[in-house]
Structure formats: C-alpha cells, structure tokens
Chain A
Amino acid sequence: MKKMLSFLFLTALFAHSYAGGYLVSLQGIRQMAMGHTGVGIAMDASNVFFNPAGLSYLKSKLAVSIGVSILWDRAHYQNTDTWRQYQTDSPTSTPLDCYAAYKLNDRLSVGLGFYTPFGSRVEWPEDWTGRTLVTSVDLKSVFFQPTVSYKLRDWLSLGGGLIIASGAVNLQRADLLTPGAKVQLDKRGITRLGYKLSLMVKPLERLTLGIDYRSEIDMEAEGGDASFIGFPASIFREPSSPLQTADDRFDASLPLPAELSVGLSYRVGQKWLLAGDLNYTYWSAYDAFRVHFQTNQAASFITPRNWENTFIYRLGAQYLCTPRLTVRLGYYCDQSPSPDSYWSPETPTTDNDGFTAGFSYAISKRLACDLAYLYVNGNERSVHNKPSGFYGDVYAQAHVFGLGITFNL
C-alpha cells in the first residue's frame, strides 16, 4: 500500500492547467463527463471533492472512485507586430484522483480524498518572444483531505474536511544579459493547511441543492533555490551589480484561491438527471507575483497580476440508457481571471468553453468503469501586458480523456 501510495503521488504530480488560472477541473470522471458539475449531486466517493456533505447520502457502505486523466493541451501565441507565432510544447500529463468514503452509520460517513485541484505545466520554446518572462513553469499541488459528513435530517446534511496541501514549483526564464543565461526558481515540499465546508439539502424528492466552500491556501515558498545559470562570472563580482551570487535563495508565494460553489440537480423521470453548478473563485488573491532574493536583493521583483474573481457556469446531464449503461453530457464556461492588461504567459489563460461527454458501464453490481472526454476551447484573446511590454493574440486548446473505476460495497 505504501508503494502504491507513492506511485499515486508521483503520477498525480503531473497536473496541467487548462482551466482559468491554474485550477484543474478533472476531479471526478463521472462529474467531468457532466461538465464537471457535482456540488448538488450525491454521486460517488468523489463527493469528497465536490461536496463532502453528499457522502452521507451515498447508499453503499464503502465507496471508492479512482480516476486518471490523460491531458494534452496547447497554447498558441502570435505577436501582432513581428507576426511570429509560437506554441507551448507541454508534455502530456496524467493527473490522478482517488477518493474513498465509508459509512460508519446511517448518519455519519467518513471519507478520504487525494486529488490535484491546482497545477500547471507550461513549456514555451526557448527562443520565443516572451522568454524573458517565462520559458517553463511546473507548478504542482496535491491535496490530501480527510473528510466527515453528517446527516442532520433526511433532507439536510453537512460535510467538511481538513486539507493538507503539498506543493512544488519550478519556474524558468531566460535572461538577456548574455546568450543562454537563465534564472530558475525551484522549491519542493511546501506544505500548508486548508479546509472545506459544505451543505447538501433535498427540499424535494427529486431536487438536490449543494453549497461547498474551500478555503484559500497560500503556498509560500520560503528559501527556495534560485539559480542564475549561464551568467558570466564577472557580473557577480561587480560591486554595483544586482547579482552577487549565482546560487541564491528566494521567497515567493502563490495563492491557491478559495472557491465557493453552489449546485443543484434534478431528476426527470427515472432516467434523467440534470445538474447545474456555479463556481465562484476568489482569484483576486493573486494580485502580484512577488519574488524576493535573499542575497541578490536588488534583483527581487514584483510583477502585478491583478487577477479578478471569476464565475464558472456548468451544466450537465445524465441518462440511464440501460441498467448497465449510463451516458453523460455537459458544458461549462470558464472565465479567465487575468485581465488583458496584466496577462502573463506563465499561466496562459483564456475564456474557456468546455464540452464534455462520457459514460459509465456497470461491470457488476459493485464495479463500474467510467469514461469521459473533455474538449476545451480556449477562446482567442488579444492581450497587452503594459508593465512588461508583452502583447499579442493567444488561444488555447485541450483534449482530456478520463478513465475511472467506481467501486461500491
């Protein structure tokens, strides 16, 4: 089990960003197929993420959901003056999510989740226009979340969890001082705590409402490694130079923003389930990217981000074709939190339309396999980061295949 866990851990580290900001919405294969709705559904063990309150509505004694996604994404950039075009060449990644829920009694359930809600892996070409801003970003986070759910009434349950967030960041950018020079910031093993609170209500037999709140977690990287690679040695000896050492330490922080979600689902007849979610993400926490170098203090920088809180609108539907086959469809629309005038290629965000489809096939009463496909169309936008002088047109695309198994005892 220990081996298994560490394997899972490694796999989960490779999480991509294609949603607005560096938020990843691939937290449950079934939900993903339904436009990533799920706050108002007691679906399966992945309620640990979507709405822990729903765990106590699950019928099985033990529920387990494991999902893996294969994610391919690409951001495209063209400069409107030089007419040059570049695209990210980020490797395919496979974020992984595991959830388990156990019913202690009729009212009380406990759960455990292991998932990757934030992450970003972006690789721009080494010679690209914005290379002094970024050539490569690898932002990883893994949330480990023990959860409880308590059913107060048949129509009302509460849920909550403690989030133990672990993260790592690696950021590289070119420096123009001399050809081939680059700055690398690297910090591993950042651990911070957060929490989750949620509520699920069933006012009518066919209607379920949910509210879920996840707290902000500020991933502070203190004393990370800052390497000034390929710089001429002379620059570190010049007394007035901002750079005094090639191997420095840095302090920085990146907020993983709070999110408030409300969702509902409605059963139509015996076969249809319709769902709608609204996520409100407090991206305004990301007002600036601040990097402080401990020795090369004069090279410290603050670049304004001025991100704005965003809404994500999600719609999903599920249709029970046969007792074994369930088909799902969905759509979501996800705003970019970054204003045009502060847009930065570290997180190449766009306004996204996500189209989803998928199905579950019940192999037995206890075991089902889930498949999902997500296509993200990152709408073209024209950006001009005034402080840095970076501008151009950007669009993005992503294809995600999700494969999961759901086990109910």
Chain B
Amino acid sequence: MTEETITLEVTRYRPGHDREPRTESFSVPYRKDWVVLDALNHIKDRVDGSLTYRWSCRMGVCGSCGMMVNGVPKLTCSAFLRDYHPGPIRVEPLANFPVIRDLVVALDDFMEKLRRVKPWLIRETERPVSEGEYRQTPAQLDAYKQFSMCINCMLCYAACPVYGLEPAFLGPAAIALAYRYNLDSRDEGYRVREPIVSDSVGVWECTFVGECSVVCPKGVDPAAAIQRSKVAGAKDWALSVLMPWGGRK
C-alpha cells in the first residue's frame, strides 16, 4: 500500500547565487499528526539537506518557526498538514522581512525595535533590597498579563501591511511590549517610553487593520495595545495643551 503524499511548494533562495527566490516542489508523506515543520524536517533529512529554516521547540512557545503558509503567517509547528489537505501547501519566508536564505529572514530590525521601547522595569527611585520584593496583587497582574505572552515570533509584523509599506513603523509586538511595561504596577517608565511610542512611526503609523491580532498565536492582541496607547497618548497631548504647567504622572 503506497502512502498518501502531499506536495509542499517551498521558496528557495541562495544568496550570491540566485537573483530572486524561486519555488521548489517536494512530495512528503501525508500523516494526520504531522505539521508543516515535520514536513520540512522530512525534506531536510531525506530529500534535500540544503533546505534552510529556523525552528526550535516545535510546540508553539519559542517563536522561531514563523513562515508564510499559503500566504498566511503561521508557526509551522502549529500548522497541521490535515488542515491543508489535499494541498499543495505553499511555504514562503515570513513576509515584510529581508530574506537571508531559503526560509530564513533577517531579524535585526525587529530586535532593534524591541530594544528601543526599553522592555524592562524602569524605576524613578530604586528601592533597597532590604525593603523586600515589589508586591503585586492578582488584579495588578491581570492588567498586563495578556500583553506579556508575546513570544516574539514576528507573525504580527508579517501580517501588518503598514510595516510592509513603511519599514520604519515600530510595529505591533514592540508597542505591545511597551504597553505591557507601562501597565505593570511596578514600572515608573511611562514618560521615558512616551517619545518612542507616541512617535509618528510609533502608534500613530498604525491604521488599525487588525490583522496582527488575528495571526497572533498567543492571543496577545497587539492591535488593542496600540489603540489603547493611542488613547493614552492623545489624552496626554490634550492635557499638555490644557495644563502645560505639568503635574502629570
């Protein structure tokens, strides 16, 4: 009995060799419990060892294996072959990022933007260790917990047409991360992050397409973080105009 197969149409790109990416078709066993990552691993193990892609945990927590599957940004470890049956399945590198090789994209821009929003607790006054921990009630944790679930998989950047059209845009994940820290009761860095978040290439570049939240595998809802940051930023601006003498948080 011959095993059923499914076809994967995978982007190949060799730097310095290919001028443009091209598509190569591979036939892989169709197994009901396989994900696209399993198919890619099969290709690399048995068919073409030069196929290059990123992956790690294979269980949807590390954010390494993000790729375009039939034009949709997905974690390939969470994209089951049976959902694409009978195929063919188009596997392309994550959209809106420069391609290094095959399915591997350059992360530098994203990394720089994550750093730019200062994703750490900023205190105006540090408390001495002798005073003990910064305590937080469950309600205070709930305020920001959703936005802390980001695994930096960059699917939201691939889904965001604004980032595709304007690479200077800070982007959904970075703004959601800034929002997460601004909401943290232990943090006092709202004013420090404000010029970065409320910049013209910060929240105000976003036009609330909303696809970032649709593709997010962790339910972070970066679109909500961005729009709420816009409300906070607009409120601040209005207060600064009406009461320019300060006295704000």
| Binding between chains A and B | no
- Residues of A near any B CB (own CB < 8 A): none
- Residues of B near any A CB (own CB < 8 A): none
